Amino acid sequence: MRLLLVISDFIIPVTVLLIVVFGCLRRVNLYEAFLEGAKEGLQTVVEILPTLIGLMVGVEVLRAGGLLELLTKLLTPLETAFGFPAALAPLTLVRLVSSSAAVGLLTDIFATYGPDSFVGRVSSVMMCCTETVFYTMSLYFLSVHITKTRHTLFCALVANFTGVWIALVLVRYVFGVG
């Protein structure tokens, strides 16, 4: 374990040093390349900023408007039929849009049920098995100007909900909790 801590302390400095050495060996003007990359990065930020703002506003509307609680109540019969805890429905839905909002809900789940509870463990595994589909698609597809996303969205949603169910199965049957 100590070795991993030492390695992690040196990863970034060694990577930067290797980039500088490789650039010098290839006779690249490192300062000019850095400035060009920074300029392109700022252009990308300007292009995706409206999408990010829209996603953040959308998540807050979901939370503040009570739509999330309504969706949770509507999904409760389906959840009880399949053994899926109702407490995880908001996390499942918010995770599709915002990782930071999902972490906030995860913290609420930990405070309410505890991190070692069945709900706490499923939510932890679920956070590792799922992705912020709408955020990722809008951010990355917008930055490279991809407009035809129909099949990508369907596949990403299937993969995401598969991750949710796999988290439930892993915690319940493999780890024997719940």
Q: Tell me: the pLDDT tens digits for 47-79?
A: 878 877 877 787 778 778 888 778 778 877 877
pLDDT, one tens digit per residue, over 124-146 is: 999 999 998 888 887 788 778 78
Q: Is residue 26 part of a domain?
A: no
Q: Is residue 12 part of a domain?
A: no
Other CB atoms within 10 Å distance of the CB of residue 162: 12
Q: Is residue 22 part of a domain?
A: no
- Cα end-to-end distance, the chain, whole Å: 31
pLDDT, one tens digit per residue, over 34-50 is: 999 999 989 888 887 88
Q: Is residue 10 part of a domain?
A: no
Other CB atoms within 10 Å distance of the CB of residue 117: 17
Read off the DSSP letter of residue 173: I
> Which domain range does residue 137 map to?
47-174
C-alpha–C-alpha distance, residues 137 and 55, integer Å: 12
Read off the DSSP letter of residue 175: S
Q: Is residue 57 part of a domain?
A: yes
Q: Is residue 80 part of a domain?
A: yes
Are the CB atoms for 127 and 102 separated by under 8 Å?
yes
Domain count, the chain: 1
Instruction: Extract the tokens encoding 16.
Output: 């930067």
Q: Is residue 2 part of a domain?
A: no
C-alpha–C-alpha distance, residues 116 and 121, integer Å: 6
Read off the DSSP letter of residue 66: S
- pTM, to two decimals: 0.67
Q: Is residue 13 part of a domain?
A: no
